[in-house]
Structure 1
């Protein structure tokens, strides 16, 4: 942590929010890091359950009827990769936000630094996890958890099992206004029906369960304990102060969610509405 020593960090143990708001809060946290010098780590959940599309993902890969019928929201991330079904219970998510000039410029080195507290959390939960030691070919490219497994940023369990390991966490980064934002999805439980159902493809549930494992399956711990462990590991990693969102940040995030992450223009076509425009 030498590159981040003596910096001001806050940890936010966020509650459940709709997907558009969760994505908007990341951009707001980036603004806070740049303008106020306050870096953020946080844990969060999704309510309702949400499919987040990768930045360049074709909206035609979504089974929109299934999502509507099951009450699953859809948003689009700033990061690439495939879609991720974030179950309100089975998914635990986190974010790390810091100025770009304080972290390694090399992408792989930055992943290694920012995933350190996540790997530590797995260790504290007695989950034998590590960066994937071997690539695994994609099963279904539009799904993040069924894409090829990449040793650079995919975490699998058990560690050092080669192509016999199952994915337990996906992590991604993007840079905005000289700030690095990393977010990740940690599989607490498995909901294979929805994980495959959100896509417009004929995928068997076993396709998912054969590739993915979860904290609950490996360690059997309570979800609240898992969330607390991840939050504590993030806090200890950067010596963060306990905090919460400021009123102004929440207001800015709501406005951004309305005109970007919650708007069809963004979700389906990657178009950002100008301030004052109404979403269709």
Structure 2
């Protein structure tokens, strides 16, 4: 049986609003059992901190210090949101994936991998794959930026030097996701790097790595049929009353993501 899931394709917005709306959709899934898939982008380019990161650590990444900052309610490293496609998926507790959150994570990344392999034809010697379990290391040694870290299931593009030890020059992370749970519901949101950003030039995007133009709309159009089939979702234009949803998001914005007390809490 397929689960009805609202589909939102939102205009670019600032970081605090994007995070507030995602949390409002998580509340909707937890309290009313409504599933929503949301696609969005960011303006201006924004640095989002993982929930546990210290705001003072952003000084270690000079290129992004001019970006506004927001703190996510999910973990992981900092992300420069600029030339990317961002998605969020809020699912209610009744969905099987809410009981196996890793399955939701792999569903998103495996269907992205298949989309890039089959619809965008990477050149010979370039592989799109998921990260295998990386070597363990102390959290204190994690790079500041999420896309310089490695977690099992991350979406990677590997160069022709696949037989050599993994280095930043040979293997690049282009997709990562994180989660937040509430009353059994799950919000999973993730970033897909389309092109390199001047605010994080050390991170190439899919376009540079496969050598062809890629747009947010083109990637979404190819990806969504695979994702919805994998998760047994029946996508439809979101029918949630927008005024009520946006009023809740405004309240969350004022009390949390737009507040210095939240952003600079660490």
Give the TM-score normalised by structure 1.
Answer: 0.76
Which residue of 1 is the match for residue 199 of structure 2? Answer: 194
Cα pair distance change 1:158/1:256, threshold 3 Å:
same
Structure-2 separation of matches of 1:236 and 1:15: 25
8 Å contact from structure 1 (residues 13, 231) kept in 2: no
**Per-residue CA distance 1:208-265 (angstroms, 9 max, x = gap):** 2xxx442212151242423443455445552311237622111211221122111111
| Cα offset, 1:150, TM superposition | 1.5
Stretches of structure 2 that go unaligned for 5 or more consecutive residues are none
Cα pair distance change 1:126/1:137, threshold 3 Å:
farther
Cα pair distance change 1:64/1:167, threshold 3 Å:
closer
Structure-2 separation of matches of 1:54 and 1:77: 5
Stretches of structure 1 that go unaligned for 5 or more consecutive residues are 196-204, 271-280
8 Å contact from structure 1 (residues 168, 187) kept in 2: yes
SS at match of 1:110: helix
8 Å contact from structure 1 (residues 8, 37) kept in 2: no
**Per-residue CA distance 1:70-107 (angstroms, 9 max, x = gap):** 4x2211111111100101xx121111110234234344
Cα pair distance change 1:183/1:69, threshold 3 Å:
closer
Structure 1 stretches of 4+ with a deviation exceeding 6 A read: 64-69, 136-139
Matched, 1:130 2:129: yes
8 Å contact from structure 2 (residues 34, 92) kept in 1: no
Aligned residues: 246
CA RMSD of aligned residues (A): 3.0
Among 191, 197, 214, the residue aligned to 2:205:
214
8 Å contact from structure 1 (residues 131, 155) kept in 2: yes
8 Å contact from structure 2 (residues 78, 145) kept in 1: yes
Matches within 5 A, 1:165-184: 165-184=171-190
| Cα offset, 1:60, TM superposition | 0.7
Which residue of 2 is the match for residue 155 of structure 1? Answer: 155
**Per-residue CA distance 1:155-201 (angstroms, 9 max, x = gap):** 1013994724211111111212321111111010012x412xxxxxx
SS at match of 1:61: helix
| Cα offset, 1:113, TM superposition | 2.9
Cα pair distance change 1:95/1:68, threshold 3 Å:
closer
Among 257, 262, 269, the residue aligned to 2:265:
269
Among 97, 105, 113, the residue aligned to 1:111:
105
8 Å contact from structure 1 (residues 12, 40) kept in 2: yes
8 Å contact from structure 2 (residues 30, 93) kept in 1: no
Cα pair distance change 1:234/1:42, threshold 3 Å:
farther
Cα pair distance change 1:48/1:167, threshold 3 Å:
same
Structure-2 separation of matches of 1:64 and 1:175: 30
| Cα offset, 1:68, TM superposition | 9.3
| Cα offset, 1:10, TM superposition | 1.3
